[in-house]
Chains A and B, each alone.
Chain A
Amino acid sequence: MEFADVVAEHGHALVRTAYLLCHDASRAEDLAQEALMKAHTRWQRHGPPEHPGAYLRRIVVTEYLGWRRRRASTELVGVDLDDVPAAPDATTGVDERDAAWRAMATLPARQRAVLVLRYYEGLPDREIATLVGVSEATVRSLASRAFATLRDHPSLANSVSSRVVTPQEYTESGRGGGSA
Chain B
Amino acid sequence: MTDLEDLVRATLAERAHDVDRVQLNAVAVRPARTRRWVAVGSVAAAAAAIVAAVVLIAPWAGPPFRSADLIGAEPPPPTQQVSFHGITLTVPASWGVGRFGCFGSGAPGDGNTVTIIPTNLPNCPTHPSTPGPITTSAPVTRTSVTLQALTSSDGPGTATTVAGHPARWVDTYGPEGTPPLLQLPDVGVQMSISAPAGGTATVLAGLSYTPLDARGCDAQLPASSPDVDDTVLAAAVSGAVCEYDVSGPDGTFLLGSRTLTAAEITALQRAVTGSRAAPSGVDGTVLYRATTADGRSTEVRFDANSAPADLPRAYP
Contacts and interface: CB of A to CB of B under 8 A. Distances in A.
B214 A83 contact: yes
Given A85-B295, A97-B14, A104 B8 contact: yes
Nearest to B292: A85
Contacts of A96: 7
Query: Chain B contact residues: over half helix, strand or loop, or mixed?
Result: mixed
B52 interface: yes
B102 interface: no
Interface stretch (B64-72, B157-165, B174-182): B64-72
B15 interface: yes
Contacts of B30: 29
Contact of A26 (B5, B7, B33, B292): B33
Given A36-B56, A161-B4, A85 B293 contact: yes
B97 interface: yes
A32 to B, nearest CB: 8
B12 A116 contact: yes
B93 interface: yes
Interface string B214-242: 11100000000000000000000111100
A78 B293 contact: no
B2 A161 contact: yes
Contacts of A64: none
A65 interface: no
Interface stretch (B74-82, B126-134, B197-205, B272-280): B74-82
B3 A161 contact: yes
Interface in A83-116: 83, 85-88, 93, 96-102, 104, 115-116
Given A25-B18, A77-B80, A83-B259, A115 B52 contact: no
Given A4-B66, A7-B59, A102-B237, A74 B80 contact: yes
Interface string B287-303: 00001111100000000
A150 B78 contact: no
A115 B56 contact: no
Nearest to B296: A85
A124 B108 CA distance: 45
Contact of A19 (B3, B19, B66): B19
Contacts of A17: 16
A19 B80 contact: no
A99 B20 CA distance: 21
B81 A120 contact: no
A3 B292 CA distance: 45
A85 B297 CA distance: 10
A100 B23 contact: no
Interface residues of A, number: 62
Contacts of B25: 25
B294 to A, nearest CB: 4
Contacts of B5: 119, 147, 165
Given A4-B64, A85-B238, A100 B8 contact: yes
Interface string A4-22: 1001100110011101100
Contacts of B82: 76-77
B1 interface: yes
Contact of B3 (A74, A155, A160): A160
A170 to B, nearest CB: 9
Given A83-B214, A97-B7, A119-B5, A4 B59 contact: yes
Residue in B3, B8, B65 with the greatest tally of chain A CB atoms within 10 Å: B8
Given A11-B60, A147-B4, 16 more contacts: A37-B70, A76-B82, A76-B97, A77-B81, A80-B238, A82-B259, A86-B294, A88-B294, A99-B293, A100-B11, A115-B8, A119-B5, A119-B8, A120-B9, A120-B13, A169-B2
Interface of B: 1-5, 7-20, 22-23, 25-27, 30, 33, 35, 52, 56, 59-60, 64-67, 70-71, 73, 75, 78, 80-83, 88, 93, 97, 213-216, 237-240, 259-260, 291-295
Closest 5 interchain pairs by CB?
A85-B295, A3-B67, A82-B238, A25-B22, A161-B3
16 contacts: A8-B64, A19-B18, A20-B12, A20-B15, A25-B26, A33-B52, A33-B56, A37-B75, A74-B80, A76-B80, A79-B215, A85-B292, A115-B8, A116-B12, A155-B293, A156-B4
